[in-house]
């Protein structure tokens, strides 16, 4: 039996003009849940996985932190990896999804304890165009950014021609991850 998510992704793939299982040159799965945390915190020696349900209260708190953006894809739950190097906390890796043009982009955002982005890594890209958003040259722009930054093309992020919606989506997902970490971990420390 197909999960609702798999069924929905199948419908979106058909809407994009692709046959089931057919990938364009831009599409692909690049990292798994097991490999993504090390992509954003390569110096970590241990990761602890936590699943946080996406409740209406949590989404409301996150929305307050995120500010006004176009509607977001809200996950049913968030998978968060606490990254440590021995006993030192390096930060949190959050898996998020945002709709690009018509299909979801799945990526991990590494957030340091000070509330700044460590790294961003695209796990899966499903659009036929705009896959350049997964390249390190583009993703490096997010390092050091915080919730105070706009994270928007033509503002503080260099756009990729033909991938404006994907660029906006990555920025929106980064803001979502920053807001989640702030609400769950930094708020309690008074940061």
Supply the pLDDT for residue 6.
44
CB 167 within 8 A of CB 134: no
Supply the pLDDT for residue 99.
92
Q: Tell me which residues of the chain have a pLDDT lower than 50.
A: 1-23
Report pTM.
0.83
Supply the pLDDT for residue 186.
78
DSSP 184: I
């Amino acid at each position: 039996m197909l999960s609702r998510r798999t069924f929905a992704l199948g419908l979106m793939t058909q809407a994009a003009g692709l046959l089931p299982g057919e990938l364009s040159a831009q599409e692909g799965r690049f990292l798994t849940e097991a490999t993504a945390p090390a992509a954003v915190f390569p110096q970590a020696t241990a990761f602890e996985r936590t699943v946080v349900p996406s409740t209406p209260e949590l989404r409301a708190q996150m929305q307050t932190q995120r500010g006004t953006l176009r509607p977001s894809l809200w996950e049913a739950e968030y998978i968060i990896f606490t990254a440590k190097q021995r006993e030192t906390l390096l930060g949190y890796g959050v898996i998020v999804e945002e709709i690009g043009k018509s299909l979801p982009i799945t990526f991990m955002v590494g957030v340091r304890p000070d509330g700044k982005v460590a790294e961003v890594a695209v796990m899966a890209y499903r659009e036929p165009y705009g896959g350049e958003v997964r390249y390190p040259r583009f993703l490096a722009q997010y390092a050091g950014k915080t919730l105070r930054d706009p994270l928007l093309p033509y503002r503080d992020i260099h756009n990729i021609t033909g991938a404006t919606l994907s660029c906006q989506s990555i920025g929106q997902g980064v803001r979502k991850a920053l807001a989640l970490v702030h609400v769950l971990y930094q708020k309690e420390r008074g940061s």
